[in-house]
Chains A and B, each alone.
Chain A
Amino acid sequence: MTVEFQTVFGSLQDYAKGELEIINDSPKNYAFSNVFDVASRSAAYEKVVVAINLGYVLETLRAEGTSPWFAAAHDEFAIVMDGEVEVELLKLDAPAVPASKKGTVQLDGSPVGRRMGYVKCKRGHQVLLPQGAAYRFKAARPGVILLQTIEGELSKQKWREICYT
């Protein structure tokens, strides 16, 4: 017997937000959002926090056009949730972020370093953004990135706008 399965992924164009069925609780306790919904209402490369755990965050970024250069004093990981995103990486000659500083930092202009190369990602691809590198994203069409990082100066928390209340 052959069973046909269809795997359903979401996209900016086609997503359905799930539901909260409350029996005896506050909906806010679940901080329930949807990354495609968040990205559909975000500015390009705005870093919107969708999950936080004592300083660690997952952020949703709308990928559209070319981002500024970013760097962090620690590893970060990006998962492309929709679209096609090219990630360009540069090995910095000197650390752009002090070791004690957490989270992503935006670099002015073009940072100085050696080209490490680039990675072309499609939906479901995960890329390492290694400590000591600067990186920027390029997307010809709007896409969605889920970023694993630490809360930093660029992290935006707007729970009331993105979550069921």
Chain B
Amino acid sequence: MNALDVVASPASNETGYRSFQLGSFSFSRDEYFVRVGWEANGQQLSHKMSADAFLRAVMRDVAWGFFYGWVNFDAMIGTRNLYGKVEFYAGTYNPAYKERGLDHMETFDSRQIMATFKAMLDDWTNEGFDPFAAPDETSKSWLGKKRGHNRGAIERERQACKRMPGLPGDAELRTDENGYPVNRAFADVSQDEPEIHAEPGFENELHAFSLFAYLSRSDVTWNPSVSSVLERSLCCPTTEEYILPIKHGNDRVEWFIQLSDELEWQIEDKNTGAPRAKVIMKAGDVAAMPADIRHQGFSKKRSMLLVWENATPELPQLYESGKLKPYPVEF
């Protein structure tokens, strides 16, 4: 990645933060807010987000490599993953802007937008603020003028296994020793591992682990991480606390299985943001997220959620062309 692809101003004398340019979009931050600017219909337009909310959203988009489909930072701005290219938009999925031609969207090479987002995240995340953590777990140092960095926190990436964590050559299990202590909100979760009794010669083929113990040691919130792979069928459990920092509009159907506690999903129409449903999930509940909605989760206590994805590359086109219906089953 060529560092020249990131267009950044010198640090501001007043706040200490840099401003960034991505295509014709401008990004700046002050003590409280991030401001995004663009031009449409001969008019200068802008949008503000609280800097902590913005950093939490960009953190997910960066860690997930733009994820599947639409990652809305809020009702106005976000990205759409075209897998190699990425759209950034303002107002495109907000009817008030869209209908008046005041929205703006540009398509970027994934590497260029990733480099810009990473530079923004790095510059705008102060020492002591972890945009991957729940508010109760991190400091308020996101507000105010620039002071320090938190590179360790923002350089974590989405963890993925090839087949299943703990197998030889695959993702490691989480332990105190490798830096994954049990989260305070899962202190009561059993850390007992399954008993494996392998016959001689089968030690590497018989495999099991405690998924709940593994999740209790997750050091981040809202970060689906692959824990079993069957061809394109990926189980991606994660631990959730406070609010999902984005509204996810998937380009395919996904499923949620609530493993512990309770989570509420606010469901909106993917294109307009009009409310459609609330899905309140308790332990053991299973629900589909249709391909024509966007969703945002709320979790009072840190909870365990299994996100189940089908990673088949052709799916977005099949849904867009209408060959596949947006919901998974008819009954």
Contact = CB atoms under 8 A, between A and B. Distances in A.
Interface of A: 3, 5-10, 15-25, 27-37, 50-54, 56, 58, 74-77, 79, 81, 87, 89, 91, 114-128, 130, 133, 144, 146, 148-150, 157, 159-160, 163, 165
Contacts of B257: 35, 50-51, 58, 146
A16 B303 CA distance: 15
B290 to A, nearest CB: 5
Contacts of B278: 19-21, 23
Given A24-B276, A150-B230, A53 B310 contact: yes
A158 B164 CA distance: 30
A125 B188 contact: no
A24 B211 contact: no
B105 to A, nearest CB: 26
In this complex, the interface size class of chain B, counting residues with CB under 8 Å from chain A, is: 35 or more
B40 interface: no
Q: Which of A29, A52, A81, A160 has the most CB of B within 10 A?
A: A29
A25 B192 CA distance: 43
Contacts of B196: 117, 119
Interface stretch (B67-75, B110-118, B126-134, B179-187): B179-187
Contact of B279 (A20, A56, A76, A115): A20
B284 interface: yes
Given A31-B328, A58-B257, A159-B331, 20 more contacts: A5-B301, A15-B282, A15-B284, A21-B280, A22-B276, A30-B287, A32-B286, A34-B282, A50-B286, A51-B308, A52-B329, A56-B232, A91-B202, A117-B199, A121-B208, A122-B194, A128-B164, A128-B207, A149-B230, A150-B233
B286 A58 contact: yes
Contacts of B326: 29
B184 A127 contact: no
Interface string B201-243: 0100111111111000000000000011111110100000000
Given A30-B279, A123-B212, A17 B230 contact: no
29 contacts: A7-B185, A9-B212, A18-B279, A21-B277, A24-B275, A25-B267, A27-B277, A29-B288, A31-B328, A32-B287, A35-B284, A51-B257, A51-B308, A51-B328, A53-B308, A53-B310, A54-B315, A58-B257, A74-B231, A75-B230, A76-B230, A77-B228, A79-B211, A89-B202, A116-B199, A125-B211, A128-B207, A128-B228, A148-B230
